[in-house]
Structure 1
Amino acid sequence: MRFDVVIVGGGPVGLAFATSLSGLGLAIGVVERQDGAALENAAFDGREIALTYHSQDILKRLGAWAHIPADSVSPLREARVLNGGSGYALRFDTRGRPEAELGRLVSNHAIRRALHRVARACPDVTLLAGQGVAAMGTDVDGAWLRLEDGRELRAGLLAGADSRFSGVRRALGIGAETRDFGKRMMVARVRHEAPHHAVATEWFDYGQTMAMLPLNGNCSSVVLTLPPEEMARLEAMPEAEFGPEIARRYRQRLGAMELVSTRHVYPLVAVYAERFATTRAVLLGDAAVGMHPVTAHGFNFGLRGQDTLAGEIRAARAAGRDFAAPDVLRRYAHAHRRATRPLFLATNATAVLYGQETLPARLLRGAALRLGNHLRPVRQLVVSQLMENRVERGAA
């Protein structure tokens, strides 16, 4: 089978990229190990995505936003960071700005369903679901793939969007900077007694890190980080005991709690590819940059990266040039590195600092929070990064 572009990975970034390329006169193939039913009706996976304004704009432009149910979208008006046993909070809000929200929290499975729906409707996009890749490679003439069912694919460009543990990245011989934080993250929805007022909280406690992300109604997504052995105990805990346990761990800040969803556990591993592009191939999404979730930017970086690459390809097509020429892919790689590298390093440093519990680290943790509240320009810069709205993008 012959395509112009083959994307390995039918997650949100892969599907968004396929949709972004639709209408350019290219034949696009998407290879995904999950079957079609799993893509069409993506299951709840616990993850709630804090979408920036830029990401919302991309989803609207692709036509996916209209397919996201209203009850899967929750406003985020303020974010607070707490440290240890102190009640002092570093606050991020929209004071002095025209927007009423920092962003919106949207269920990951709802985004996946919406993007699948729009990609499937594109006549130039072929979804090859239920298929793994047995082998692949590239040369100056293009890319080749052999699927597990024996079919062979050819393309002018190969795009790997197949998770932070990317098989495409390995097959292309691209190394990656990897940091395993040695922790596990559990995500689940809880209903609670007190209102959250659309405020998200990130609490770097001693012995645990806990985030509460405000959802519609008196519900929140709890994001709990613990050592593996302690997390195993919570995984095995009966459902009826889980809500009271989370309320206890959260010091009853939102009152009594009740588990209202399934629980999902993920390893905390950050990944940064040594290269985002090589001959006739690129990396997208977590295959390029897999972020620690503490700054909630991983998904937004993925959407932004595919949008940047699609823009470069669109410009090359308009100029009658090879859409996968080295300079086209190189411009994407440079732009995506500039957009992601500083925050990747800052996020890892934050996760390491606030994961330490020695006395010097505890003192530094508290001082950093108080200093952040008193440095308004720094706080505003962080808010700008969180929101990533049109005005700031245009000025960049």
Structure 2
Amino acid sequence: MQTDVIVVGGGPAGLAFVRGLAGSDLSITLIERQPRAALADPADDGREIALTHRSEATLRELGAWDTIPAGAVAPLREARVLDGRSPFALSFAPGKGSTDRLGQLVANHHLRRAMFATVQDQPRLSWETGIGVAQVRRHGRGVAVTLDDGRRITAPLLVAADARFSATRAALGIPARVQHLGRTMLLVRAAHARDHDHVATESFGYDQTVALLPLAGRVSSVVLTLPTDLAARVAALPPAALSAELTRRTDARLGAMEALGRVYAYPLATVWSTHFAAPHAALIGDAAVGMHPVTAHGFNLGLRSAASLAALVRKAAATGGDIAAPSLLRRYEAAHRLAAGPLFAATEAIVRLYTDARPGARIARPALLHAAARLSPVRAGIAQVLMRH
């Protein structure tokens, strides 16, 4: 089978890229291991996505925003960073008169459902769901993908959007720097006694990181990052003991906690692909950059990569150009490296500092927070990054 573009991976980045090509007259084949029903009605995975203003605007342009239930969107008005149990907090808020929020919080499954709704009936889109990729081979005019059932699909351009441990990336021969962190992120929604005022907090301890993401009402998503063995023990606690543990680990900042529903566990690893493009192929989303969740920008960067590549491919198609031209793919890679590189490096530096229990790091941590608080232009600049990426 011949098509213009093959997309491997039906997550938010892959679907956003597909939607970005709507009306371009390009034929697209989307390959996804999950069945189509799971894409149409994805299960709750516990993840709350902190959307920047840029990402919200992109979702509006793609037609996805208006399909998200209004009650599923929670405003994020301010973010505060704390060093352990210190009462001092470094605060980030939008500038006066610009907007009343840093961004929005939306559950990942709502975003996935909304993205699917925008492409489910897209003309010239073929679906290969419930099946995987057995082989990827490049040739002079493009890429050939063999499915698990032996069928072969060829195209001038292949886009890999199949998550941070991308098998497609590996099949293309693109190496990646993968760092397994030996820690696990636990996610659980919890009701609490006091109002959160739509303020997110992130507290860095020496044995844990705790984030509280404000949802509708007196409910927050509690994000605990713990050593993997300890995380397994916490996740296995019965509801009453878990609620008490959440109250203790959050220092009762929002009062007594009551766990709502199950605990979701995600072992942490970061990924940086050495290249985001290769002949006749490009990487988007987590296949290109798998961020540490501490800065909550993984989804935003993934959406940005999809929009960036789609814009270039769409323009080439409209002018009769080569949609897989080496110059086009180099432009995409350069733009996304510029967008992702500094944020990835800064995130890694923050993680190293705030998981280092040596005496020097213990002294540096509060000193850096106080210094940043005194430099209002720095604080305002960070807030703009949080809102924009």
State TM-score, norm by structure 1: 0.96
Structure 1 segments of 4 or more deviating over 3 A?
none
Give the corresponding residue for 2:67: 67
1:318: Cα distance to partner?
Answer: 2.5
Task: Establish whether residue 195 from structure 1 lines up as the match of residue 203 from structure 2.
Answer: no
1:140: Cα distance to partner?
Answer: 2.7
1:88: Cα distance to partner?
Answer: 0.5
CA distance, structure 1, for counterparts of residue 209 and residue 347 of structure 2: 14
Mapped contact 1:140–1:279 kept (Cα < 8 A) = no
Which amino acid in structure 1 is aligned with residue 293 of structure 2? P
Name structure 1 gaps, 5 residues minimum: 390-396
Which amino acid in structure 1 is aligned with residue 225 of structure 2? T
Mapped contact 2:32–2:129 kept (Cα < 8 A) = yes
Give the corresponding residue for 2:43: 43
Give the corresponding residue for 1:133: 133
Task: Establish whether residue 313 from structure 1 lines up as the match of residue 313 from structure 2.
Answer: yes
CA distance, structure 1, for counterparts of residue 384 and residue 321 of structure 2: 36
CA distance, structure 1, for counterparts of residue 159 and residue 95 of structure 2: 41
User: Please, which moves more after superposition, 131-140 or 274-283?
Assistant: 131-140
User: Please, which moves more after superposition, 108-117 or 233-242?
Assistant: 233-242
Q: Deviations over 1:296-344 (max 9, x none)?
A: 1111001001111111112212322111111111100000000110110
Give the corresponding residue for 2:107: 107
CA distance, structure 2, for counterparts of residue 302 and residue 108 of structure 1: 13
CA distance, structure 1, for counterparts of residue 137 and residue 325 of structure 2: 17
Mapped contact 1:120–1:127 kept (Cα < 8 A) = no
Which amino acid in structure 2 is aligned with residue 345 of structure 1? A
Which amino acid in structure 2 is aligned with residue 325 of structure 1? A
1:209: Cα distance to partner?
Answer: 0.3
User: Which runs of structure 2 are paired with 1:160-175 in the superposition (5 Å)?
Assistant: 160-175=160-175
Number of residue pairs the alignment of both structures matches: 389
CA distance, structure 2, for counterparts of residue 99 and residue 252 of structure 1: 30
Mapped contact 1:120–1:126 kept (Cα < 8 A) = no
Mapped contact 1:79–1:200 kept (Cα < 8 A) = yes
Mapped contact 1:140–1:280 kept (Cα < 8 A) = no
CA distance, structure 2, for counterparts of residue 156 and residue 368 of structure 1: 50
Which amino acid in structure 2 is aligned with residue 236 of structure 1? A
CA distance, structure 2, for counterparts of residue 70 and residue 260 of structure 1: 21
CA distance, structure 1, for counterparts of residue 316 and residue 140 of structure 2: 18
Mapped contact 1:78–1:92 kept (Cα < 8 A) = yes
CA distance, structure 2, for counterparts of residue 346 and residue 376 of structure 1: 19
Which amino acid in structure 1 is aligned with residue 388 of structure 2? E
CA distance, structure 2, for counterparts of residue 186 and residue 386 of structure 1: 23
Mapped contact 1:52–1:102 kept (Cα < 8 A) = yes
Give the corresponding residue for 2:95: 95
1:13: Cα distance to partner?
Answer: 0.4
1:182: Cα distance to partner?
Answer: 1.4
Q: Deviations over 1:157-179 (max 9, x none)?
A: 11000011000110011111222
Mapped contact 2:95–2:380 kept (Cα < 8 A) = no
Mapped contact 1:156–1:280 kept (Cα < 8 A) = yes
Mapped contact 2:159–2:284 kept (Cα < 8 A) = yes
1:241 counterpart SS class = helix
Give the corresponding residue for 1:154: 154
CA distance, structure 1, for counterparts of residue 170 and residue 329 of structure 2: 19
1:382 counterpart SS class = helix
Mapped contact 1:313–1:323 kept (Cα < 8 A) = yes
CA distance, structure 1, for counterparts of residue 154 and residue 137 of structure 2: 10
CA distance, structure 2, for counterparts of residue 219 and residue 380 of structure 1: 28
Give the corresponding residue for 2:231: 231
Q: Deviations over 1:37-65 (max 9, x none)?
A: 11111011111111011101111111111
CA distance, structure 2, for counterparts of residue 39 and residue 317 of structure 1: 28
1:265: Cα distance to partner?
Answer: 0.8
CA distance, structure 1, for counterparts of residue 138 and residue 108 of structure 2: 32
CA distance, structure 2, for counterparts of residue 121 and residue 242 of structure 1: 44
1:61 counterpart SS class = helix
CA distance, structure 2, for counterparts of residue 335 and residue 261 of structure 1: 41
1:211 counterpart SS class = strand
User: Which runs of structure 2 are paired with 1:315-394 in the superposition (5 Å)?
Assistant: 315-388=315-388
Give the corresponding residue for 2:76: 76
Which amino acid in structure 1 is aligned with residue 316 of structure 2? A
CA distance, structure 1, for counterparts of residue 386 and residue 322 of structure 2: 35
Mapped contact 2:190–2:258 kept (Cα < 8 A) = yes
Name structure 2 gaps, 5 residues minimum: none
